[in-house]
Amino acid sequence: MVGEIWTEKYRPSKFFEVEGQENTVKRVEALTNSLNIPHLLFAGPAGTGKSTLALIVVKELFKENWKDNYLELNASDERGINIIREKVKNFARTKSLANIPFKVIFLDEADALTPEAQQALRRTMENYSATCRFVLSCNYSSKIIDPIQSRCAIFRFKLLEKKDIEKVILKITGKENLTITPEALEMLYEGSEGDCRRSINILQATAAISPSINTELISTIISNTKPKDIKIILDYALSGDFQNAREKLLDAMLKESISGQDMVKAIQKEIWNLPIEPEIKVKLTEKTGEIEFRITEGSDPFIQLQALLASFVLAGLGE
């Protein structure tokens, strides 16, 4: 809800305002300007502009009549075959109310559609291509069946780089009369991990506390452990002091409300800054992957993290 308010307020109206996807945007803009787009498939991580670009395409095609010629469905909510047979098909079979000879249906999170629904969708895409174009967005294109992929022009989105996130954040802080320090901007990017929507949500949450945004505020919002705390934990473990490493780990998790998976990720990042041999770094990285998998499968996070610390102790002892 928080992100949607800000997204609507600053939703781009021109293609060039979609940050970080220059090559993709240029190709989509060329298709849109021809006034005859094919079925489109936008694939990539969350918060990289897929839904925004789809809306821009529709607005550029239909101008002020875009709402009458556009249907948006979230496939993760409406994922069954009946939605495709009824809602989608009924909209697709009617003619456009504008000069453009087709309507547009946007299926968000299309990789959540059931296999049966995807099979029904492939026939709908084929039978009503004269009166309707489909724009599908997904996080993983591999979950979309091949017949649908072959009917679409596929565009792949990438995580935003630091400069792209900074451009969006500085634009918002300027309009909202906020101040943000360079260090806070760096932490905001690290916390968002290239997800623009997440960075805007963090910014709004911190702005609700104070118009002067610093690292302490952002750290409070994202509940992210500090690298120096992780380094202390790993230094204890590598020196063979398992007891202190364990206590510091528990203290960091409780004090900062860090989940087991987030702690594993923080440890994995810090491994490469440790003064140990590259071969040991590789082995410890492999171990963090194993521990992360176990936690994901439902194992007790703290027991698994203690096992990970034990691996660091053994590495420090040369075993």
**pLDDT tens by residue, 6-53:** 444 444 446 656 777 888 888 888 888 888 888 999 998 888 888 888
Mean pLDDT along residues 231-250: 88
What pLDDT does 42 receive?
Answer: 92
Q: CA 52, 57, 60, 61 torsion: positive or negative?
A: negative
Q: How far is CA 251 from CA 91, 229, 254, 255, 311, in A?
A: 56, 10, 5, 6, 20
Contact 61, 104 (CB under 8 A): yes
Average the pLDDT over each of 145-149, 158-162, 190-194 and give the range with the smallest value. Answer: 190-194
Rounded to the nearest integer, the mean pLDDT of the chain is 83
- Cα 149 to its chain centre, rounded Å, is 21
Residues 48-72 pLDDT 10s:
888 888 888 888 888 888 888 888 8
Half-sphere exposure of 215 (CA within 13 A, CB side): 8
Distance CA 236, CA 46 (A): 37
Question: 159 by DSSP, 3-state: which?
Answer: coil
Residues 96-149 pLDDT 10s:
777 888 888 898 888 888 888 888 888 888 888 888 889 999 988 888 999 999
DSSP 274: S
Distance CA 85, CA 63 (A): 29
Q: Which residue type does 220 have?
A: T
What pLDDT does 75 receive?
Answer: 63
Distance CA 234, CA 285 (A): 13
DSSP 88: I
Residue recorded with tokens 């803009």 = 29
Q: Report the percentage of the chain scoring pLDDT > 70.
A: 91
Contact 88, 80 (CB under 8 A): no
Distance CA 132, CA 117 (A): 18
Tell me the pTM: 0.72
Distance CA 122, CA 268 (A): 42
Higher pLDDT, 95 or 146: 146
Q: What domains can be seen in the chain, in order of their start residue?
A: 21-156 (3.40.50.300), 162-222 (1.10.8.60), 227-316 (1.20.272.10)
